[in-house]
Amino acid sequence: MKLTGSPKEKMAEKATKKNGKIRIAYVLPTEVRGGVEEHVLSLVKEIDKEKFSPYIVAPACLLESLKQDLDPGEAVLLPLRISSLIDLREMMRFIHFLRHHHIHIVNTHMFIATFYYAPLARLARVPIVMETTHLMEKWRLGKGFIKRHSFLIDRVFYLLLDRAIAVSHACKKDLMKMKRIPDAKVTVVQNGRDLANFRPISNGRRTDLRMRYGYEQDDYVFGVFARLNHQKGHRYFLEAVKILKDRGVSVKSIFVGGGELNDSLMQQCKELDIEEQIVFAGAQKDMPGFFSMIDCLVLPSLYEGLPLCVIEALAMAKPVIATAVDGTPEIVIHDKTGLLIESQDPEGLAKALDYAQTNRELMDKMADAGRQFVVDNFSLKRQVQQTEFLYEELCRLKGVLA
């Protein structure tokens, strides 16, 4: 792993230019590490280094977090963040970086990165500019004129792209319908996870973590593993817990993740008088361990692309209750690999929670079916191979390294 600007960089420039590899700059606009950032990290680590040289452009604080999981030499890192149209110094740094490293592909992640970085990539004459779309920004939809023109600016900037990758079939459908991107310009590469890291593990870690957080071994524990923000719908889970409590049904659950809603969700627990039923564990690194300690994952999101935590849970043979939004039904097949509910429906979620802990054997059968489904369809190896094929295809079309 290297940081740009080092003394060795100039000495290596000619060799870099002639090494015959496809040089890809991944652009991340965010400061917080989440599903999108894990997606990029996985690609960087697993992509064929004999064919590709990966680079990551992102805010410094995010790079510091990613560096913990990158080996020396795995990627060149550029700490950079453009957050307004007057960040001229950062814009020039980005253009210089692209030219200095002779980047072949700029792969932005999410539209905000495309908005700021795609025009600069074109100015730097990067041969291929593309975006990976992880979810649709449906909160931008309004009514009337606003609704019809919510994504007008997106359509303009997408003219700069050679291709868009959609992480789910639902994402592609929305790109075509809402942003009017031509079918031929969108390629679906569904998310995948490293199944060697997420698989059923011994009860030892389950026992230790349950003791740490005060759970008995026979307690049925629900886990909500997601950033504490509006998108993930934690408030509806808390309302569902309250509904069941009023009916005399006890629910035990743990939230894993940090975010801006931490204090307000804790306050909601206090107001609903369910503080003893919810554990806030904060952000954690040992996710396989935390998956092992729960009995069922719950994802009450308002919108999603194709959620990594659901793939991880099913890979570890944990049943899932999730909202039927966007790409989630591509993994959670109702009554087969899990339970699907409507979004923003505490009553429906309460029924699903009650069903899960009173029908444990049926939920476990869904989890077993879900694990096989994930193994067959959502491996990281499959995702990386499909992405590599697309990069090489675009390079052939553009005459890169010809």
pTM of the model: 0.86
Q: Domain 203-377 carries which CATH code? A: 3.40.50.2000
- For the chain, the domains span 2-192+380-398, 203-377
Contact 400, 104 (CB under 8 A): yes
Which one has a higher pLDDT value, 8 or 302?
Answer: 302
Residue 304 pLDDT greater than 70, yes or no = yes
Q: Do 2-192+380-398 and 203-377 show the same overall fold?
A: yes
Model pLDDT, residue 8: 47
Per-residue pLDDT at 1: 54
Strands 52-58 and 22-27, bridge-based pairing: parallel
Grade residue 139 by pLDDT with cuts at 50, 70 and 90. Answer: low
Average pLDDT over residues 168-172: 94
**Exposure on the CB side of residue 180, measured as CA atoms within 13 A:** 11
Q: What is the pLDDT of residues 61-82, one digit of tens each?
A: 999 999 999 998 899 999 999 9
Q: What is the pLDDT of residue 33?
A: 84
Instruction: Of 13-17, 32-36, 313-317, give the lowest mean pLDDT range.
Output: 13-17
Mean pLDDT of the residues in the chain: 91
> Which CATH number, 3.30.230.10, 3.40.1010.10, 3.40.50.2000, 3.40.50.10190, labels domain 2-192+380-398?
3.40.50.2000
Ranges 3-7, 104-108, 185-189: which has the least confidence: 3-7
**Which H or E run includes 154?**
helix 152-157
At residue 385, the pLDDT reads 97
pLDDT digits (tens, 9 = 90+) for 20-41: 899 999 999 998 888 899 999 9
Rounded mean pLDDT, 138-144: 61
Evaluate whether 77 touches 67 at the Cβ level (below 8 Å).
yes
Please give the share of the chain, as a percent, with pLDDT higher than 70. Answer: 92
* pLDDT tens profile 243-284: 999 999 999 999 999 989 999 999 999 999 999 999 999 989
pLDDT, position 173: 93
Alpha-helical (H) ranges within 247-379 are 262-272, 287-293, 308-315, 346-358, 360-377
Q: Is the pLDDT of residue 18 over 80?
A: no
Give 7: exposed, middle or buried? Use CB within 10 Å, 0-12, 13-18, 19+: exposed
**Which pLDDT does position 215 carry in this prediction?**
93
Distance between CA atoms of residues 368 and 200, nearest Å = 10
Comparing 50-59, 206-215, 377-386, which segment has the lowest mean pLDDT? Answer: 206-215
Q: Give the 3-state secondary structure of 184-215.
A: HHEEECCCCECCCCCCCCCHHHHHHHHHHCCC
- Would the pLDDT of 12 be above 50? no
Return all residues near 279 (Cβ < 8 A) that are at least 6 apart. 213, 214, 253, 254, 255
Closest CA to 221 of 334, 336, 365, 319: 319
